[in-house]
Structure 1
């Protein structure tokens, strides 16, 4: 292990090798916007990015962007373990090697191989995009192979979770841990004119996942049934066989390029956290910042820490139940919705962009010691 090796500093350009689920496809890949925002911002600061992703889950057939000019994308076999092993060994020459959680194939192999990399000047990072679920899994299974890898990484970055997640990783032996929260890329998510395709009173973008479905039923489908005179719109994969009220229109997977139009065309949009994220808190989803960037009026289910990102009542509306959603929609005028959306956009542009998150990543990489980092609250 390279505890005493010198760390890269922000004063020079870094070669960053990243192993994640997919950069070019958001299909069944909720982390795509997060990866794109962080890595594009790091590239804009002069760092060289290579993103390795498997050919798996039909994501290459559902690309929503071409290979970007700010990153080299390497697609490897999702069935041959020799390929990721070879690519990790090639990445040894990089300054920073990142293994993200939830690649979907060869996760244990990649975690072991990246954690084992060791040479002067190399920093290895485990970047957890679902830290509450990871910690719950590892705590429940002491024999989980990832438990032994945690202390071997130089850094653990998390998609969110705040102090509870930092303390959880510390207890499992992480050397240094810090949350790198979601944010806005204003060049990707911005205001556009509303259009008829997504016109509705209330919209939700969410893939169907076991630890989210109950909350979608509570915060979206139950209010739809209670408000038959309003138009509800649901986008995301996996809902085609779900029984829904007749005033809910299901549009299937919505490509990232269409998110602005959806956010602009609804009177309000809903964010629903996964169970694990809601229970820990401090985990704003990418949808929160996408909606704010488009100046949409956002309604979110309640979770601890929302006020660090948006002010309830002025920049976001918070619901603790489906009944709260019903009351919010009954009282929400178009004028108030527009005012909330404008205030949210101003807030995220001032302190929650991926450019700001990239500066935080650089600061963490530049620290010369191995001291554990406490959670850094955004402005």
Structure 2
């Protein structure tokens, strides 16, 4: 059994999913690391009204430290508190102090402290630095002990290697069966097709192409849209729900006949980037439709465990051709596949193996 690790984790938020799609990813992995005996302190800023829109109280499986979102004294104190940890993680997309933290966490690096960059949106990060040769993050990449990514597959690994990363390993989203599981149907969320996702610039066009186009082609069907920012341009047969708390995700996923996931543009281009919504929906037994992207078969089998659509026309065709019984069977096969191969316990053991292998290598050096 490996020695327990003391891990300091700087991320967007562990306790709030408000404008923070990585929340369930953080929760799944950190909770699973706790079950393996490791101790995690999660440092997050008081920013973007996330603390006012908490989904969970401070958990008993991690210590949460909230620092002010303005002025550097708070984040400096948090960084100093993290000194001496076995592992310090800087996640991408904290939202404030990102460039500062990416540079300053490296001051904590030492013989007993590994410093990792954990990229929860690697395609966007890599495209940003590729377009700006002067981006200061380029020079920092080789200094991190390891880069972990939320996904991205071989293209992301190759791109980070080209930037000089010592090691780059995808740690994919997964299922936390204690959090995402079948529940009774909820009348609020009964529909033919549901979609959850905030309105973002590199998602908007694809949502129109896959979700709104399907709604336009199936005017007699009921569609549900959860997420912030969808204030205009929505077809009349699409009901807007606004922000849907993580407390209601199981009910949402279990009540619609089918659930759609649409990747952001950069994630679709890189492939191998299944977002949290895929595992949340399939883990609840939903019949999931995904937009076509390379690598989906590594997680779910197209046609039997997931339906893959090239466009909104194909989404609309699935609504007409796949009845409730067939949809339920697809969802149940997907749920069993994830339980067997893709839980956060699987991911936490992967992270533990990576960190402990580094510790063993340093001990032998």
Residue of structure 1 equivalent to 2:101: 110
- How much has 1:370 moved relative to structure 2? 11
Pair 1:172-2:163 in alignment: yes
Using the size of structure 2 for normalisation, the TM-score is 0.97
Pair 1:250-2:244 in alignment: no
Q: 1:276 aligns with which of 261, 266, 275?
A: 266
Relative to structure 1, the CA distance from residue 173 to residue 369 in structure 2 (aligned partners, 3 Å threshold; closer, same or farther) is farther
Structure 1, residues 141-165: CA drift from partner, whole Å, max 9, x if none?
A: 1111111111111010000001100
Asked if 1 retains the 8 angstrom alpha-carbon contact of 2:84 and 2:108, the reply is no
Q: 2:338 aligns with which of 348, 352, 356?
A: 348
Residue of structure 2 equivalent to 1:261: 251
Pair 1:301-2:291 in alignment: yes
Structure 1, residues 346-375: CA drift from partner, whole Å, max 9, x if none?
A: 00000100000000001111224899xxxx
Q: 1:97 aligns with which of 78, 84, 88?
A: 88
Q: 1:49 aligns with which of 37, 40, 47?
A: 40
Q: 2:275 aligns with which of 256, 274, 285?
A: 285
Pair 1:60-2:66 in alignment: no
The answer to which structure has the higher helix fraction is 2
- How much has 1:244 moved relative to structure 2? 1.6
Pair 1:220-2:231 in alignment: no
Asked if 1 retains the 8 angstrom alpha-carbon contact of 2:84 and 2:112, the reply is no
Counterparts of 1:140 and 1:195, CA distance in 2: 46
Alignment RMSD, CA only?
A: 1.2
Using the size of structure 1 for normalisation, the TM-score is 0.94
Counterparts of 1:326 and 1:286, CA distance in 2: 24
Which range is displaced more, 51-60 or 322-331?
322-331
SS at match of 1:249: strand
Counterparts of 1:246 and 1:47, CA distance in 2: 50
Residue of structure 2 equivalent to 1:146: 137
Which range is displaced more, 315-324 or 117-126?
117-126
Residue of structure 2 equivalent to 1:376: none
Counterparts of 2:30 and 2:211, CA distance in 1: 33
Asked if 2 retains the 8 angstrom alpha-carbon contact of 1:176 and 1:370, the reply is no
Asked if 2 retains the 8 angstrom alpha-carbon contact of 1:19 and 1:52, the reply is yes
Q: 2:228 aligns with which of 204, 220, 237?
A: 237
SS at match of 1:98: strand
Asked if 1 retains the 8 angstrom alpha-carbon contact of 2:171 and 2:347, the reply is yes
Unaligned runs of 5+ in 1: 1-9, 372-379
Unaligned runs of 5+ in 2: none
- How much has 1:243 moved relative to structure 2? 2.0
**Runs of 4+ off more than 6 Å:** none
Residue of structure 1 equivalent to 2:355: 365
- How much has 1:91 moved relative to structure 2? 1.1
